[in-house]
């Protein structure tokens, strides 16, 4: 079985690394994904996290689109409550003009931030309301496509105006609905949109969400049949012990977040090995390891295949969580690149 392989990137920031170097490392990873034949490369939107530099997906998408030749590039996703729908439409119409036929607009309903950042976004600029999520999706779809009609009450009476994201568009970005609940599955099915459930978050509820989506799907102008893929956290290496060591920085950082400890940049592999973990952190890591794929190349690829078959998908998007060693360059993360190389050799042949 040949699988399509894609990448989800949060632009991780490690100790001693600047945000510029973290972005450079992600661009290098995207170039490698392009060379290996991966299908798409998406950036997540997160805010106010020391170890995550993917705060502005459209900016990162533009950089990667300009640095690659064939891979699709997109958002996984734009967190719509943080943005005005018209702004999102304009940004992605411009991206589609930059890289025609290569842009994905993945949209999510969660804010992707803490309450402080949510309050700051609402006080500093236009945002959209969560309860208008469906209407905002429809607005974006219309504005990047044929155009929307806006009715305004003027001195001469009610007048209608056409609103388009960009003039003379030759193509439009592909919109995907992202979610981690049944709500998103029902909505994607009703709107006839491609859909991705966030399996990499916890692994809970995926089978139910995909069953809802496939059962309730209604064909649309954009899509005539359900379309989805699986998201996974993966660390693959030449040996199982190397994969385990490379996974520890990300696992420990997630444990800090879930046990309420102060967040910081990612440790190096060596620093993570020296970390003394309390009982609560070890418990969280043990639970996450059951969902992550952390193994030598053949075993990791086999587990990816089994999960793809279990959920009935022909594409898998991996978040490569391998950490960096102290001796490795700050503008590259060889462990993440190696994860992709090993998977591509076994899944894309």
pLDDT in tens, 189-199: 999 999 999 99
Q: What are the backbone angles phi and psi of residue 327, rounded to the nearest 5°?
A: -85, -5
Taking 80 as the threshold, does the pLDDT of residue 238 lie above it?
yes
Give the separation between CA 194 and CA 228, rounded to whole angstroms.
6
Q: pLDDT per residue over 132-163, tens digit each?
A: 899 999 999 999 988 877 777 777 778 788 88
Q: What mean pLDDT is predicted for residues 230-249?
A: 98
Q: Looking at the predicted structure, is the pLDDT value of residue 116 above 90? A: no
* Rounded to 5°, angle at Cα 266 from 265 and 269: 150
Average pLDDT over residues 216-237: 96
- Confidence band, pLDDT 50/70/90 cuts, at residue 1: low
- Give whole-number Cα distances, 221 to 20, 194, 235, in Å: 41, 12, 38
Whose tokens are 């973290």? That residue is 22
- In angstroms and rounded to an integer, the radius of gyration of the C-alpha atoms of the chain is 20
Residue 113 pLDDT > 70:
no
Q: How far apart are CA 214 and CA 226, in angstroms?
A: 6
Angstrom distance (rounded) from CA 131 to CA 134: 8
Question: If you average pLDDT over every residue of the chain, what do you get?
Answer: 93
pLDDT of amino acid 201: 83
Span 115-120, average pLDDT = 76
Split at pLDDT 50, 70, 90, the class of 229 is very high
The count of residues in the chain is: 349
Indicate the DSSP class of residue 326: T
Residue 202: pLDDT band (50, 70, 90) is: confident
Q: Which of 62, 60, 9, 59 is nearest to 33 (CA)?
A: 9
Calculate mean pLDDT across residues 110-128.
Answer: 73
Please check the confidence at residue 117 and state whether its pLDDT lies above 90: no
Q: Is the whole-model pTM more than 0.85?
A: yes
Cα 176 to Cα 103: distance, rounded to the nearest angstrom:
11
Is the separation of the CB atoms in 321 and 289 below 8 Å?
no
Is 246 a residue whose pLDDT tops 70? yes
What does the longest C-alpha to C-alpha distance in the chain come to? 74
Per DSSP bridges, beta strands 230-237 and 293-296 are: parallel
Q: Read off the pLDDT band of 37 (50, 70, 90).
A: very high
- In the numeric block, the tokens 């309050």 are attached to 119
Average pLDDT over residues 286-305: 96
- The answer to whether the CB of 87 falls within 8 A of the CB of 121 is no
Q: Is beta strand 148-154 parallel, antiparallel or unpaired with respect to 157-163?
A: antiparallel
pLDDT grade for 204, boundaries at 50, 70 and 90: confident
| pLDDT at residue number 129 | 78
Q: What's the confidence (pLDDT) of residue 158?
A: 80
Residue 331 has pLDDT above 70, yes or no: yes
Q: Using the predicted structure, report yes or no on whether residue 112 has a pLDDT greater than 70.
A: no
């Amino acid at each position: 079985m040949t699988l399509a392989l894609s990448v989800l990137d949060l632009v991780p920031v490690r100790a001693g690394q600047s945000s510029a170097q973290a972005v450079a490392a992600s661009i290098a990873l995207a170039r490698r994904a392009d060379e290996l034949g991966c299908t798409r490369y998406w950036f997540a939107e997160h805010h106010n996290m020391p170890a995550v530099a993917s705060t502005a997906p459209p900016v990162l998408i533009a950089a990667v689109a300009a640095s690659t030749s064939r891979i699709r590039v997109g958002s996984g996703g734009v967190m719509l409550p943080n943005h005005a729908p018209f702004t999102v439409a304009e940004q992605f119409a411009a991206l589609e003009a930059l890289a025609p036929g290569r842009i994905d607009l993945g949209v999510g309903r969660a804010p992707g931030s803490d309450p402080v950042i949510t309050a700051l976004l609402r006080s500093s600029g236009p945002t959209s309301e969560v309860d208008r999520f469906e209407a905002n999706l429809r607005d974006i779809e219309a504005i990047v496509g044929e155009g929307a009609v806006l009715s305004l009450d003027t001195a001469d009476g009610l007048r209608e105006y056409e609103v388009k994201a960009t003039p003379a568009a030759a193509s439009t970005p592909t919109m995907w609905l992202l979610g981690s609940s049944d709500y998103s599955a029902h909505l994607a099915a009703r709107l006839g949109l491609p859909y991705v459930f966030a399996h990499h978050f916890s692994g809970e509820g995926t089978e139910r969400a995909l069953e809802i989506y496939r059962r309730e799907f209604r064909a649309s102008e954009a899509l005539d049949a359900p379309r989805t893929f699986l998201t996974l956290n993966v660390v693959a290496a030449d040996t199982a012990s190397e994969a385990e060591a490379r996974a520890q920085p990300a696992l420990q950082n997630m444990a800090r977040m879930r046990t309420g400890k102060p967040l910081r940049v990612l440790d190096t592999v060596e620093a993570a090995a020296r970390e003394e973990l309390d009982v609560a952190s070890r418990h969280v890591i043990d639970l996450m390891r059951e969902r992550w794929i952390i193994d030598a190349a053949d075993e990791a690829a086999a587990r990816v295949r089994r999960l793809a078959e279990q959920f009935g998908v022909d594409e898998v998007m991996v978040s490569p969580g391998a950490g960096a060693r102290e001796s490795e360059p700050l503008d590259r993360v060889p462990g993440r690149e190696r994860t992709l190389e090993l998977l591509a050799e076994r899944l894309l042949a």
